Amino acid sequence: MIKQIINNYNWNFDNTLLENAQKVYDSLEKDFKRIDEIYYSNQFKVISAMQSLGLSEHHFIGSTGYGYGDSGREFFDELLAKVLGTESAIARHQWVSGTHTIFSGLATLLNPKDTLVSITGRPYDTLAKIIGLSEDAPENCLISKGINYKEVPLNNSGRPDLNNIEKQLQKLKPSVVFIQKSRGYSSRKTLTYYELSKLVDFVRKVTPNSKIFLDNCYGEFVETSEPGELDIDLMAGSFIKNPGGGLAPCGGYLAGKRESVEKASFELTAPGLGRDMGATPEGYHRLFIQGLYLAPSTVCSAAKGAIFSSAFFQNLGYEVSPTPKENRGDIIQEINLNTKENLISFVKGIQKAGVVDSHIELEPDQMPGYDHPVIMAAGTFVQGGSLELSADAPVRPPYKAYLQGGLTFPHVILGNLIAAQKIIT
Ligand X SMILES: *Cc1c(COP(=O)(O)O)cnc(C)c1O
Comparing C-alpha atoms, which of 349, 365, 345, 394 is closest to residue 186?
394
Q: Tell whether residue 218 is a contact of ligand X (CB under 6 A).
A: yes
Q: Tell whether residue 388 is a contact of ligand X (CB under 6 A).
A: no
Q: Tell whether residue 364 is a contact of ligand X (CB under 6 A).
A: no
Q: Tell whether residue 186 is a contact of ligand X (CB under 6 A).
A: no
- Residue number, 161 or 220, with CB nearest to ligand X: 220
Whether the ω angle into residue 410 lies within 30 degrees of 0, i.e. cis, is no
- Residue number, 182 or 210, with CB nearest to ligand X: 182
Q: Tell whether residue 63 is a contact of ligand X (CB under 6 A).
A: no
**Pairing outcome for strands 374-377 and 333-336:** unpaired
Distances (CA, A) of 7 to 1, 11, 17, 26, 420: 10, 8, 12, 18, 16
Distances (CA, A) of 158 to 119, 152, 154, 197, 321: 12, 12, 5, 17, 12
- Interface region with ligand X, contact rule CB under 6 A, candidates 165-173, 190-198, 212-220, 301-309: 212-220
Q: How far is the CB of 17 from ligand X (least distance, A)?
A: 30
Q: Tell whether residue 215 is a contact of ligand X (CB under 6 A).
A: yes
Helix, strand, coil % over all residues of the chain, rounded to 5: 45, 15, 45
Q: How far is the CB of 184 from ligand X (least distance, A)?
A: 4
Helices (H), 110-161: 127-131
Torsion on CA atoms 158, 190, 411, 358, rounded to nearest 10: -60
Q: Tell whether residue 182 is a contact of ligand X (CB under 6 A).
A: yes
Q: How far is the CB of 102 from ligand X (least distance, A)?
A: 6
Q: How far is the CB of 185 from ligand X (least distance, A)?
A: 7
DSSP string, 239-284: TTSGGGTTT--S-EEEEE-HHHHHHHHHHHS-TTTGGG-----TTH
Q: Tell whether residue 192 is a contact of ligand X (CB under 6 A).
A: no
Q: How far is the CB of 238 from ligand X (least distance, A)?
A: 4
- Order of strands across the sheet that contains 390-394: 319-321, 333-336, 400-404, 390-394, 374-377
Kindly write out the interface string for residues 97-126 of this chain, putting x where it contacts ligand X by CB under 6 A and - elsewhere. Answer: xxx------------------------x-x
Identify the bridge partners of residue 212 per DSSP, sorted by sequence position: 177
- Interface region with ligand X, contact rule CB under 6 A, candidates 95-103, 138-146, 168-176, 311-319: 95-103
Q: In this structure, are residues 388 and 407 in contact, taking their beta carbons and an 8 Å threshold? A: yes
Q: Tell whether residue 291 is a contact of ligand X (CB under 6 A).
A: no
Distances (CA, A) of 321 to 81, 245, 326, 403: 31, 24, 9, 11
Kindly write out the interface string for residues 126-165 of this chain, putting x where it contacts ligand X by CB under 6 A and - elsewhere. Answer: x---------------------------------------
Q: How far is the CB of 165 from ligand X (least distance, A)?
A: 19
Q: How far is the CB of 240 from ligand X (least distance, A)?
A: 7
Q: How far is the CB of 95 from ligand X (least distance, A)?
A: 9
- Rounded Cα distance between 370 and 386, Å, is 17
The 8-class DSSP code of residue 144 comes to: G
Residue ranges in 231-250 that form contacts with ligand X under rule CB under 6 A? 238
Q: How far is the CB of 419 from ligand X (least distance, A)?
A: 21
Q: Tell whether residue 370 is a contact of ligand X (CB under 6 A).
A: no
Identify the bridge partners of residue 394 per DSSP, sorted by sequence position: 374
Q: Tell whether residue 226 is a contact of ligand X (CB under 6 A).
A: no
User: Contact residues for ligand X (CB under 6 A)?
Assistant: 97-99, 124, 126, 180, 182, 184, 215, 217-218, 238
